[in-house]
Amino acid sequence: MALEANYGMVGDFYTQNFTTTHTGDGDTLILNLGPQHPSTHGVLRVVVELDGEYVKKAEPVLGYIHRMHEKMGEVKTYLQYLPNMGRVDYLHALGWNWAYVGAVEKLMGIEVPERAEFIRVITCELNRISSHLLWWGAYLLDLGAFTPILYAFADRERIMDILQMVTGSRLTYCYYRFGGVSADIGEKFISDLRAFLAQFKARIPMFHELVTGNMILRGRCVDIGVLPVEMCRRYGATGPVLRGSGVAYDVRRFEPYSVYDQLDFDVPVGKAGDAMDRYDVRVAEMVQSVRIIEQALDKLPEGPFLNPDLPDRFIPEPGEVYYSVEGARGKIGVYIVSDGSPKPYRLKLRSPSFSNLSLFAELSQGTLLGDAISIMGSLDLVIPEIDR
Amino acid sequence: MATLGQTIKSLWSMVVGMKVTGIEFFKPKLTVHYPRKEVDNLGTYRGHCDLVAREDDPLTPKCIMCGICVDNCPSGCLSLTMHVVGEGKPRPAGGAGELMLAQEVILPGSIKKAPPTGKAERVLDSFRLNYNYCSLCGLCVQNCPVSSLAWSREAYLVGRSRQEFEFDLLARLRAKAASSQGVKAA
Ligand code: SF4
Ligand code: SF4
């Protein structure tokens, strides 16, 4: 009977996943975390079954912010789909911008001028720093420390000011174009950026002093949510979550796109795979991003920022293409099937947060509820990216 | 002994953290208190798009009514009506009707080639923007063949109803031109 109910998908999520597997000794408590819970970063709902303070079972429920991005790709033209990309992951909008324009450029064989490639590297890495900064502040907020987010936002605001100079927006950027970017970076952008980088490098040791060494934080992170590499592989985890477990996989290094092969940077990895390692990896990545931006600024060539010989209309030949970039949360992939019409026949978005969230159910099993919150925060989830 | 060392270390980590906040306490304020002060970096800010007037005639936009912006807009925000001199009756250009009832995504196949500017006998009757749907993507501004659209720098736009965000850009342009002429005359 129970099996039947499951296969026939009768009832709501709770009935399907909890009543049939309920241990039935009457001592467990079912609790909803979210969709409006301060520690779930957006509209994510997790149903947890608690035995005292221990999590017996946790099931994420998706779909609260589903906007049918993939379906929208099928009804809009290639050009018209551009603004959607800033809304998939609003914290690393330029990463998604890049994955999509990269895919269309590959499909149509559009060349990108070198200056544009460097501008993309600079802005995308800057966006990555701002995304990691927000994660840093929000994660510590989850763990009960309010002050750090104000420090993170002081720097993040400056990044947004700099990015606003060229993109015109502060969050949901729509800046990259097929064959380049939509605006050139000027003298003011470069001088402001250099000033910011110099100042930001001095701020990172301050961040460490402020919290990284703090014993309360270490108590909440060290040895919490130890993620074995094997589990990462099973769920397809990428980005800092995977690197925290010691696998140095970074798309920028292993499938270098754009001009990343000309730039020198390290891929920071953790050892134990606990929440603290994921924390360290992200902070170290900010330092690496600063390095990348500095090199890209030094090497920035002159020339056009947009391919001058673009076609009037973007209608690719029939075919399929996959293009992936390294986003702040992991590997972003865009897969397009073209049937030769002005709109994609099928468009698939591979979002890193989806895989990273999937392992939460297994990882949080048997932990304390407070630790489960810490684990969820350390995965750096962006909910709109999970619900495409 | 080990526990004592641990405790001292824990307490010290707090002191170090407090030192950082202590120093920050005496630093100048970073936030801009909005109604009393405004930010000054709106030079490249994307407000809603706005029509650009001809150099020789501040009352007429550069627009040649090709409909590219109307066709390209992913959200169907833009619509324009025009008439050809001698015909009299206004008619919609670029495939979209004058009324913005449903958001419709239009194929760029309907894009007409831009007519040569010199021979333009078309007169723009209205140019509407439904800002409620606009995603500020910039496709209209960047793809206009005669640069007739530009960003307004409107960052502080507020309204009480949806209708307040349905703009007639042609009327806006004329009002702006009239007010600047008024300033000049005065
Ligand atoms: S693209 Fe430019 S010229 Fe063409 S209709 Fe729009 S505003 Fe007018
Ligand atoms: S900015 Fe984009 S959404 Fe807004 S009117 Fe222009 S094309 Fe349409």
Average pLDDT over residues B33-49: 85
Specify whether the CB–CB gap between A154 and B30 falls below 8 A. yes
A263 closest CA partner among A212, A220, A310, A299: A299
pLDDT > 60? residue B106: no
Residue B171 domain-assigned? yes
Average pLDDT over residues A174-201: 90
A182 and B111 in contact by Cβ < 8 A?
A: no
Question: For the purposes of burial, counting CB atoms within 10 Å of the CB of B160, is it exposed (0-12), middle (13-18) or buried (19 or more)?
Answer: exposed
Average pLDDT along chain B: 77
pLDDT in tens, A99-148: 999 999 999 888 899 999 999 999 999 999 999 999 998 888 888 888 88
Atom number in ligand 2 closest to CA B138: 1
The set of residues, in sequence order, having a beta carbon less than 8 Å from that of A313 and lying 6+ positions away, is A342, B108, B111
CA distance A268 to A251: 13
Tokens of A92: 């690393």
What number is the ipTM of this complex? Answer: 0.75
Q: Does A79 touch chain B (CB under 8 A)?
A: yes
Position A191 scores a pLDDT of 92
Q: What is the pTM of this model?
A: 0.85
User: B16 in a domain, yes or no?
Assistant: no
The answer to whether residue A214 neighbours chain B at the CB level (below 8 Å) is: yes
B36 within some domain: no
Q: What is the CATH number of domain A69-386?
A: 1.10.645.10
How confident is the model over A152-180, as a mean pLDDT? Answer: 90
CB contact under 8 A, A161 and B41: yes
Taking the centre of ligand 1 as the mean of its atom positions, its distance from the CA of residue B169, in whole angstroms, is 12
Establish whether residue B78 lines the binding site of ligand 1, counting it when its CB lies within 6 angstroms of any ligand atom: no
Residue B63 near ligand 1, beta carbon < 6 Å: yes
Asked if residue B96 has pLDDT above 50, the reply is no
**pLDDT tens-digit readout, A55-93:** 888 888 888 888 889 999 899 899 889 999 888 888 899
The domain segmentation of chain A, as residue ranges, is 2-61, 69-386
Task: Tell me, yes or no, whether B112 lies in a domain.
Answer: yes
Find out whether A216 and A148 touch, Cβ atoms under 8 Å: no
Q: Which helix (H) or strand (E) holds B9?
A: helix B2-25
User: A158 to chain B: nearest residue by CA?
Assistant: B30
Q: What is the per-residue pLDDT for B101?
A: 37
Question: CA A287, A182, A330 angle in degrees (round to 5)?
Answer: 40
**B141: nearest CA partner in chain A:** A182
Residue B103 CA, ligand 2 centroid: distance in Å: 13
The per-residue pLDDT for range A255-312, each reduced to its tens digit, is 888 888 888 888 999 888 888 899 999 999 999 999 999 999 998 888 888 888 888 8
Q: How many CA atoms lie within 13 A of A272 on its CB side?
A: 12
Q: Could you identify the residue written with the tokens 């800033």? A: A86
Asked if A164 lies within 8 A of B41 by C-beta distance, the reply is yes
CB B74 to CB A206 under 8 A? no
Give the number of domains in chain B.
1
Answer yes or no: are the C-beta atoms of A206 and B167 closer than 8 Å. no
For residues A10 and A48, which has the higher predicted lDDT (pLDDT)? Answer: A48
Pocket of ligand 1 contains residue B49 by CB under 6 Å? no
**Is the CB–ligand 2 distance for residue B136 below 6 Å?**
yes
**Kindly report the CA angle at B45 between B42 and B48, in degrees rounded to 5?**
125
Ligand 1 centroid–CA B174 distance in Å is 17
| B82 vs A163, more confident | A163
Whether residue B180 lies inside any domain: the answer is: yes
Atom 2, ligand 2: residue with shortest CA distance: B137
Give the pLDDT of residue B110.
Answer: 46
Neighbours of A258 (CB within 10 A): 19
What angle separates helix A114-142 from helix A275-299, to the nearest 10 degrees? 150
Which among B13, B44, B139 is the nearest to A213, CB-wise?
Answer: B13
Whether B27 is in a domain gets the answer: no
Q: Mean pLDDT score of chain A, rounded to an integer?
A: 86
Per-residue pLDDT band at B103 (split at 50, 70, 90): very low
- CATH code for the domain of B161: 3.30.70
What is the per-residue pLDDT for B112?
46
What is the pLDDT, as a whole number, of residue A381? 85
Most confident of B8-12, B15-19, B128-132: B128-132
| Burial of A131 per CB tally in 10 Å (0-12, 13-18, 19+) | buried
Q: What range defines the domain where residue B135 resides? A: 49-185
A320, with CB counted inside 10 A (0-12, 13-18, 19+), is middle
Q: Is position B87 within any domain?
A: yes
pLDDT at B99 over 90: no
Q: Is the pLDDT of residue B120 over 50?
A: no
Amino acid at A88: V
Domain-embedded: residue B29: no
